[in-house]
């Protein structure tokens, strides 16, 4: 395998995209960070700078390391020029199937023939994404965990047509980033979210059905199961809209009602309460960390509906 992965393009400058760019750049790779929004790119650079400052303060890197990392990142608003000469593209756009298919179709035209096209998708079929290209053997999933510079795991997902050469190159690359790559097969949600999202959904159902409150549910899981963060706070951190999208992929992909998203989650996303990114989810992040009123409102409404249903059953 003489092909070397040296120059990287990252598509999407949001939380995952800027974290992936940060990580590659810190390990000496030249990175083109691509987004259609110039302001989003500047915000991403600011975020990367602040995260590097924290690493300097903790003495895990030096000031020189920080400067070298930032110098390795170049921003682009044009996809064609941003991917023209890279060896690997990592797509980290919104978890939307149609958007990803459009991006990969364009990438197949713009990237050099030998370039590997990877998706950071956390649930969408790599086989389906690869079908939008004419290089299915070079399309793979590279699912980083958030926050990317800190978390060790990378799920490496082989699509139906993904070659052993591509898989081995990406596994080796992840190790060079000081990550632990785990190869998995292409089924909805892969491993991480196939297990994680039903747990989060069940926690939301427990709240929705009045089993316990937000604080109580999260405390049980933190102290009883040694989780560093409760499932409701974790859902806020991931983004409630992202959780909903992944659950919909699982539900549609397997056709199993156990993956159906809780109505409370659907209502909160519809109301624009998406967690940390919107300032409010199961917790309110506007002034410290406290339980949000909106979740309680939706729960009370659901409980009243349940009581009304029970009364109707008794009367009949």
DSSP 8-state code for residue 113: T
Mutual orientation of helices 293-315 and 192-208 as an angle, nearest 10°?
70
Mean pLDDT (the chain, rounded): 92
- Can 183 be counted among the known catalytic residues? no
User: Is the model's pLDDT at 233 over the cut of 50?
Assistant: yes
- Can 67 be counted among the known catalytic residues? no
Q: Domains of the chain (ranges plus CATH)?
A: 7-185 (3.40.50.720), 193-307 (1.10.1040.10)
Mutual orientation of helices 231-238 and 214-225 as an angle, nearest 10°?
100
Q: State how far the alpha carbon of 139 is from the alpha carbons of 72, 156, 158, 203, 290, in Å.
A: 25, 11, 8, 35, 42
The residue from 193, 206, 251, 280 that is catalytic is 193
State if pTM tops 0.85: yes
pLDDT in tens, 38-83: 999 999 999 999 999 999 999 999 999 999 999 999 999 999 999 9
The 8 Å CB, 24+ separation contacts for 166-175 are 166/116, 166/137, 166/138, 166/139, 166/140, 167/140, 168/1, 169/1, 169/3, 169/5, 169/116, 170/88, 170/116, 170/118, 170/140, 170/142, 173/5, 173/88, 174/142
Token pair for residue 275? Answer: 């967690």
pLDDT in tens, 75-133: 999 999 999 999 999 999 999 999 999 999 999 999 999 999 999 999 999 999 999 99
User: Is the model's pLDDT at 307 over the cut of 80?
Assistant: no
The residue from 155, 201, 206, 280 that is catalytic is 155
Report the alpha-carbon angle 284-289-295, nearest 5: 35
- Can 143 be counted among the known catalytic residues? yes
The residue from 13, 122, 123, 206 that is catalytic is 122
The C-alpha atoms of residue 155 and residue 179 are separated, in whole angstroms, by 10
* Gyration radius (Cα) of the chain, Å: 21
| Per-position DSSP letters for 249-277, written without gaps between them | HHHHHH--GGGPPPHHHHHHHHTT--BGG
pLDDT band at 292 (very low <50, low <70, confident <90, very high): confident
User: Is the model's pLDDT at 1 over the cut of 50?
Assistant: no
The residue from 32, 51, 119, 143 that is catalytic is 143
pLDDT band at 288 (very low <50, low <70, confident <90, very high): confident
- Can 286 be counted among the known catalytic residues? no
User: Is the model's pLDDT at 297 over the cut of 80?
Assistant: no
Residue 50 pLDDT:
97
pLDDT band at 310 (very low <50, low <70, confident <90, very high): very low
User: Is the model's pLDDT at 305 over the cut of 60?
Assistant: no
User: Is the model's pLDDT at 303 over the cut of 70?
Assistant: no
Residue 287 pLDDT:
79
Higher pLDDT, 20 or 3: 20
């Amino acid at each position: 395998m003489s092909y070397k992965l040296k120059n990287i393009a990252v598509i999407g400058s949001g939380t995952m995209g800027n974290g992936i760019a940060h990580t590659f750049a810190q390990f000496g790779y030249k990175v083109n960070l691509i987004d259609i929004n110039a302001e989003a790119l500047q915000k991403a650079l600011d975020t990367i700078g602040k995260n590097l400052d924290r690493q300097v303060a903790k003495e895990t890197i030096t000031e020189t390391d920080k400067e070298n990392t930032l110098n390795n990142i170049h921003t682009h608003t044009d996809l064609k020029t941003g991917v023209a000469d890279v060896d690997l593209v990592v797509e980290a756009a919104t978890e939307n199937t149609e958007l990803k298919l459009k991006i990969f179709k364009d990438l197949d035209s713009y990237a050099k023939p030998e370039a590997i096209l990877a998706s950071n998708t956390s649930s969408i079929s790599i086989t389906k994404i690869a079908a939008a290209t004419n290089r299915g053997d070079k399309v793979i999933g590279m699912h980083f965990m958030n926050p990317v510079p800190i978390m060790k795991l990378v799920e490496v997902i082989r699509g139906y047509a993904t070659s052993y050469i591509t898989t081995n190159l990406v596994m080796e690359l992840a190790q060079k980033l000081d990550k632990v790559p785990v190869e998995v097969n292409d089924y909805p949600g892969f491993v991480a979210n196939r297990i994680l999202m039903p747990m989060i959904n069940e926690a939301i159902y427990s709240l929705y059905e009045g089993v316990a409150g937000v604080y109580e549910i999260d405390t049980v899981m933190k102290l009883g199961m040694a989780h560093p963060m409760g499932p409701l706070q974790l859902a806020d951190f991931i983004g409630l809209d992202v959780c909903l999208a992944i659950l919909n992929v699982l539900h549609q992909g397997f056709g199993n009602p156990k993956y159906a998203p809780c109505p409370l989650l659907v209502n909160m996303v519809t109301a624009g309460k998406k967690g940390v990114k919107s300032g409010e989810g199961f917790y309110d992040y506007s002034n410290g960390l406290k339980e949000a009123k909106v979740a309680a409102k939706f729960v009370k409404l659901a409980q009243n509906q349940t009581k009304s249903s029970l009364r109707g059953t008794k009367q009949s």
